[in-house]
Amino acid sequence: MQNTRSLRPSTIRAGVLVVLGASVGIVAYLNYRDILTYGFTATDTLTLIATSRINTIQDALGLLTKPLMAGSGFVEFAQFYRPVASFSYGLDYSRWGLNPLGYHLTDLALHATASVLVFATMIVITRGRRVASWLGALSFASHPILAETVPAIARRHDTIALIFMLVCLCLFAMRYWTGTKRGYVMLCASIVSYVCALGAKETAILMPIMV
């Protein structure tokens, strides 16, 4: 059997990062696991689900061209373009129907993903400071301000936008660590992530300032 001494330092470091990242995801899950017992939360949830259902290709294309909650009275007061977030409701409905468990499961998975991405992004921008990155990610995963976002199905737009913004920032920073060709690919992927973030919520327009 291969013992620890024969392992390369890079392999050990990668293993440590995986363990730390996994622990952040577990903490994020444990903090909000009770939402799996909730019903539909937040005022606009059912309207968002009803206007985001995907039964045909035309429905899917319609989400790309219509404002948020098109067909409801909401558009008479405000119009937002958030097709990426709307797709998430459509996918949930196609799988879960009107079972709130599935929607909260998605929100919980999104929160855990965002928390792990906070850790990964901090590792990249701090050049591998594991303890600081881990503590920062744990702080995010457990922060009480998220109690207004994670349990509310209608507010997952924020989490989805954050996920793509973190991917954008992480890839943009990582391109300096790689060769020219791979760096160009990462830059293109970073731009695509930024566009997806804008499609989740318009506040992602601040991403260039973060970069």
The pTM (predicted TM-score) of the whole model is 0.89
CA–CA separation, 95 and 90 (whole Å): 9
pLDDT for 9: 63
pLDDT for 175: 77
pLDDT for 8: 62
Cα 115 to chain centroid, rounded: 9
Q: What does the pLDDT look like over 18-35, one tens digit per residue? A: 999 999 999 999 999 999
Sign of CA dihedral 208, 121, 35, 52: positive
CA–CA separation, 81 and 104 (whole Å): 23
pLDDT for 28: 97
pLDDT for 182: 79
Q: What does the pLDDT look like over 145-178, one tens digit per residue? A: 999 999 999 999 999 999 999 999 999 888 766 6
CB atoms within 10 A of CB 175: 19
Q: Which residues of the chain have pLDDT under 70?
A: 1-10, 12, 176-179
Q: Which residues, including other chains, have CB under 8 Å from residue 85's CB and lie 6 or more apart? A: 68, 156, 157, 160, 161, 199, 200, 201
Residue 103, token pair as written in the block: 């929607």
pLDDT for 179: 62
